[in-house]
Amino acid sequence: MNQTDLGDSVIFPLGEQLGSEHFSGAAWLEMLTPADSACPIGNVTFAPGCRNNWHSHPGGQVLLVTGGRGWYQQWGQPARELRPGDVVEIPPDAKHWHGAARDSRFSHLAVMVDPAKGPAAWLEPVADADYDSLK
Amino acid sequence: MNQTDLGDSVIFPLGEQLGSEHFSGAAWLEMLTPADSACPIGNVTFAPGCRNNWHSHPGGQVLLVTGGRGWYQQWGQPARELRPGDVVEIPPDAKHWHGAARDSRFSHLAVMVDPAKGPAAWLEPVADADYDSLK
């Protein structure tokens, strides 16, 4: 598998392209368990350069990286480069974003923690200058 | 990747070999998030022929199959063959087992649902005649 040009997603289905105002470009989502279940799990794939806006989850979220290269950043901290096999535990209510590197697609599983606490709170886009500074 | 002879696990670390009386043979576990966290996730790899005993989870569990060929069976139902990309939602308190096919290693991520409800309840081994009847 060419990690910088995933023709599809990794292991799990690519799903449908998102038409979300909270993403800077093309991204795809396949829900692996129902969104209204006790443990919603989605397979998310970002096109190169695509990232989501700053946001937070009342119950937290776990990311399991399956393909490509990407970034995770929590507000006030340096961005963390992500590769297949990396795991991110996002604390409840922590303001953060995630997405692909400029030159690579990026796929991760996203496990919602304690979904009864409510949906994501969406905030402002990541500043272009901040994203563009990432190598 | 040769799906019938995974030299390692898939994407995530193989982890440590389990010394569990609840498994019929060799299996490996890497916890991807802490066992005492709000969302414990383990990467489980079974040697060919290895399966766990019948058991249940008070909060349920989700299996995300990443490699090889294996089986899932819920009490009173036919066994379901599992391949990479398959997802199993195990209801709370449902008596079940999972494990590898006779001729293949088998890897899945196991996501504990609602872990505050308590640990797995372990029961009797899967009858050899029942396992041996699976193709």
- Determine, for residues B33 and A109 on separate chains, whether the beta-carbon distance falls below 8 Å: no
**Residue B9 confidence (pLDDT):** 80
pLDDT band at A2 (very low <50, low <70, confident <90, very high): very low
CB A75 within 8 Å of CB A49: no
The pLDDT tens digits for A71-96 are 999 999 999 999 999 999 999 999 99
Buried b (16+ CB within 10 A) or exposed e, A50-70: bbbbbbbbbbbbbbbbbbbbb
* pLDDT over 80 (residue A132): yes
pLDDT band at B7 (very low <50, low <70, confident <90, very high): low
The architecture in CATH of the region B16-119 reads Sandwich (2.60)
- Range scoring the smallest mean pLDDT among A62-66, B4-8, B87-91: B4-8
In this prediction, what percent of chain A has a pLDDT beyond 90? 91
Q: Which of B22, B46, B19, B20 is closest to B123 using CA atoms?
A: B22
**Å between A11 CA and nearest CA of chain B:** 5
Which residues in chain A are closer than 8 Å to B37, comparing Cβ atoms?
89
Edge-to-edge strands, sheet with B80-82: B80-82, B70-74, B96-100, B55-56, B121-122
Q: Does B58 touch chain A (CB under 8 A)?
A: no
pLDDT band at B62 (very low <50, low <70, confident <90, very high): very high
Helix (H) or strand (E) holding B131, with range, is: helix B128-132
Which residues in chain B are closer than 8 Å to A111, comparing Cβ atoms?
39, 41, 111
Q: Does B32 touch chain A (CB under 8 A)?
A: yes
Helix (H) or strand (E) holding B130, with range, is: helix B128-132
**Residue B1 confidence (pLDDT):** 37
Q: What is the mean pLDDT of residues A102-107?
A: 96
Which residues in chain A are closer than 8 Å to B57, comparing Cβ atoms?
none
Mean pLDDT, rounded, of chain B = 94
The Cα A16–Cα A1 span in angstroms is 22
* pLDDT over 50 (residue B3): no
pLDDT band at B5 (very low <50, low <70, confident <90, very high): very low
CB B89 within 8 Å of CB B60: yes
- Determine, for residues A87 and B32 on separate chains, whether the beta-carbon distance falls below 8 Å: yes
- Determine, for residues B32 and A109 on separate chains, whether the beta-carbon distance falls below 8 Å: no
| Cα-only R_g, chain B | 14
* pLDDT over 80 (residue A6): no
CB B63 within 8 Å of CB B110: yes
- Determine, for residues A41 and B33 on separate chains, whether the beta-carbon distance falls below 8 Å: no
* pLDDT over 60 (residue B2): no
Q: Residue holding tokens 């990541």? A: A126
| Predicted structure pTM score | 0.94
Q: How many Cβ pairs within 8 Å bridge chains A and B?
A: 63
Domain ranges of chain A: 16-115
Q: What is the mean pLDDT of residues A97-117?
A: 97
**Residue A14 confidence (pLDDT):** 95
Mean pLDDT, rounded, of chain A = 94
A-interface mutation test, from B14, B43, B88, B111, most A Cβ less than 10 A away: B111
Per CATH, which fold does A16-115 belong to?
A: Jelly Rolls (2.60.120)
The pLDDT tens digits for B14-61 are 999 999 999 999 999 999 999 999 999 999 999 999 999 999 999 999
The pLDDT tens digits for A26-56 are 999 999 999 999 999 999 999 999 999 999 9
Whether the complex's predicted ipTM is more than 0.85 is answered with yes
- Determine, for residues A64 and B41 on separate chains, whether the beta-carbon distance falls below 8 Å: yes
* pLDDT over 50 (residue A1): no
